[in-house]
Amino acid sequence: MPRFSAFLFLLCCWSCHIGATFGAVRLAPGVTSLALAAEVAVLEDPNGRLSLDDVKGRGADFTASQLPADAAINFGYSSSAWWLRFTIEANPVAPRDWLLEVAFPTLDSVEYFGPGGEHLSAGDHLPFAARPLLHRNFVFPLHLRETGDSTVWLRVASEGTLTVPLRLWRTETFWQQSQASYAVLSIYFGMLLALALYNLLLWLSLRDQTYLTYVLFATSMAVGQLSFNGLGNQFLWPNWPLWGNFAYTGGFAAAGLFGALFTRGFLHTRRNVPRLDGAVIGLAALFGLCMVAPLVVPYRLAAILVSLTGVTFSLVAMLAGFRCWRTGQPGARTFLLAWAVLLLGVAIAGLRNLNLLPTIFFSFYALQIGSALEMLLLSFALADRINGLRHEKDAAQSEALATKQQLVGALQRSEASLEQRVAERTAELEAANARLRENERQLQSLAHTDTLTGLANRLLFDARLQQSMQQARRSHGQIAVLLVDLDHFKAINDGYGHAIGDEVLRCMADRFRATVREVDTVARLGGDEFAIVLTGLSSGADAEHMAQKIITNLGAPMRVLGLPLEIGASIGIALFSSGDLSPAELLRRADQAMYAAKDAGRGCYRMFA
């Protein structure tokens, strides 16, 4: 396969331009960035033993790439070392200092020979600090000759796919573009992290293994992508090049393993597509072998196996998703679309790694584009799955109800012959219904929520007040009870009707919620009367401040069902810190203070003295 990929590349070069002459890269004034693939000449070194002097003496053996300018030179999985040569013809007024970027971070070895005799080395087998410029890609400073042409030589070798995207940059432009690319990659990995954390929380809550396998899938994908984009070598493992080299194939192999397990759990392939379930299991096992393959077989063989397995699994998973969609599996349609996008990216990336597709922007970043789109679509797939399960539950309940009705019909048809037994059963059922009604009445009496406003009712308020008073006695703290009566509510209720009155009460409830703290309790005692328990007060001034705030917020104009209305509130305040005072007495004091506020002209508060 490596020799075949190299042969294909040389055959394309020969067929595109037999007897081609080597052009020069021309730098005109104003040029800040230039792709170099179109003007690069290449020479294969099968044994990897040629030196720079050797290849300089074999200039006639070089072959023109004849690729589009924006393409990347791709030798596939080649065991050879490759020499690349290009000549720069600079305008006399063009800048002399440039940066040469080799934008493929997984290359094992990249040696740079500059026009001034410079010799620099980089590669993912070296620690990150050994690079000429600290960047996720391999970047070399290039200083052009003051006069004449400048020739640059590169020697590249790698056990993985051997892709060499070359671009010449002005320094300022390069760093500006780098900031943008780092920002885009940060967003991408932020999406991966958010997806993994979100599904981890769902797994902790639901204990559904599907979510856990997807968390592991997203994490493995992140490891592989971090190695592929060079961010892992730069930020996470700069001093561990051996791990950085393994993380590329190991991460994507682990992503394939957990992706296969996720597919099996999500689609229930064992039940829905048993013939494909064995293939999914086999591919999952093969991905598992790929994870450890670099430890026992040559890295190149492991990388090829990962690419081929990824392409094969993409076809199997899409077929399984299609069949489950045809049988009505919940969420299968969106799942098929999501994984089709991702697995199409996997297939394109695998074919590009094998040099069966040209290396352009889309094929180079196909895996990242596909995985980003898959994250969004899979959220909808999970929602579809939940909706589908809910519909199945409803259908099961309907079936159970129909069965119950059939049973009742059978009992009715046998009533004549079983009148005595029916009478006894009826008596038993009536007793059971009476117990159920009594239980229902007790549960209703224990309900804590006012049905109209959603606030606490009197029962819950009394319990909270009792609890707050006990806490105040133990901690020597202070609480306050505020009794609130809406001013002029009766006139609005009588004048506009109960529908308007109910809407006003709901609006007041919303304003209460927006005003008090979460630790405080607001209850509707009845009609237009509300009560509030304030806890953790430092002094009575805190209660007065809250009362004034409530009066201000409740008194703001409102529009209810198209009618402009204004309503006020009178508030009575009673404080409690210690002693044998009962909740009823504390409420009586607040009520007395509230009537004092009404006597004072309404729209104000009074403290019980």
Q: Looking at residue 302, what is its pLDDT?
A: 86
Give 9's pLDDT tier (boundaries 50, 70, 90): very low
What does the alpha-carbon distance between residue 133 and residue 140 come to, in Å, rounded to a whole number? 7
Q: Looking at residue 418, what is its pLDDT?
A: 67
Give 14's pLDDT tier (boundaries 50, 70, 90): very low
Task: Tell me which residue of 365, 381, 369 sits closest to 342, measured CA to CA.
Answer: 369
Full strand arrangement of the beta sheet holding 605-607? 521-526, 529-537, 478-487, 568-576, 605-607
Q: Looking at residue 216, what is its pLDDT?
A: 92
Asked if 272 contacts 323 with a C-beta cutoff of 8 angstroms, the reply is: yes
Please, is 562 exposed, middle or buried when counting C-beta atoms within 10 Å of its C-beta (0-12, 13-18, 19+)? exposed
Asked if 306 contacts 290 with a C-beta cutoff of 8 angstroms, the reply is: yes
Compute and round to an integer the Cα radius of gyration of the chain. Answer: 38
Show which of 328, 361, 389 is a domain's final residue: 389
Task: Tell me which residue of 526, 347, 361, 551 sits closest to 452, measured CA to CA.
Answer: 526
Range of the domain at 482: 458-607
Average pLDDT value for residue range 266-291? 91
Share of the chain above pLDDT 70, in %: 89
Do 165 and 276 fall into the same domain?
no
- As given in the structure block, the two tokens for residue 288 are 């598992």
Task: Tell me which residue of 177, 30, 25 sits closest to 115, measured CA to CA.
Answer: 25
Do 37 and 119 fall into the same domain?
yes
88-106: per-residue pLDDT in tens? 998 888 888 999 999 999 9
Do 201 and 138 fall into the same domain?
no
Do 194 and 152 fall into the same domain?
no
477-527: per-residue pLDDT in tens? 999 999 999 998 888 888 888 889 999 999 999 999 999 999 999 999 988
Give 206's pLDDT tier (boundaries 50, 70, 90): confident
CB atoms within 10 A of CB 341: 18
What does the alpha-carbon distance between residue 249 and residue 389 come to, in Å, rounded to a whole number? 37
Share of the chain above pLDDT 90, in %: 41
Instruction: Give the chain's mean pLDDT.
Output: 85
Task: State the total domains in the chain.
Answer: 3
Average pLDDT value for residue range 366-386? 70
Whether residue 327 is contained in a domain is answered as yes
Show which of 389, 405, 435 is a domain's final residue: 389
- The residue that leads in pLDDT, 195 or 62, is 62
224-244: per-residue pLDDT in tens? 989 989 999 999 999 998 888
Do 163 and 189 fall into the same domain?
no
What does the alpha-carbon distance between residue 97 and residue 37 come to, in Å, rounded to a whole number? 20
CATH number, domain of 471, equals 3.30.70.270
392-408: per-residue pLDDT in tens? 777 788 888 888 888 88
Task: Tell me which residue of 103, 141, 104, 109 sits closest to 126, measured CA to CA.
Answer: 109
Whether residue 440 is contained in a domain is answered as no
Do 188 and 139 fall into the same domain?
no
Average pLDDT value for residue range 318-344? 80
Do 159 and 191 fall into the same domain?
no
Residue 18 clears pLDDT 50, i.e. is over it: no
Contacts of 43 (CB under 8 A, 6+ apart): 55, 58, 61, 62, 63, 82, 83, 85
Do 110 and 199 fall into the same domain?
no
Q: Looking at residue 21, what is its pLDDT?
A: 47
Query: In terms of C-beta distances under 8 Å and separation of at least 24 residues, what long-range contacts does 605-609 make, across chains too?
Result: 605/482, 605/544, 605/547, 605/548, 605/551, 605/570, 605/571, 605/572, 605/573, 606/571, 606/572, 606/573, 607/540, 607/543, 607/544, 607/573, 607/574, 607/575, 608/572, 608/573, 608/574, 608/575
Q: Looking at residue 364, what is its pLDDT?
A: 63
Do 112 and 40 fall into the same domain?
yes
Show which of 120, 136, 169 is a domain's final residue: 169
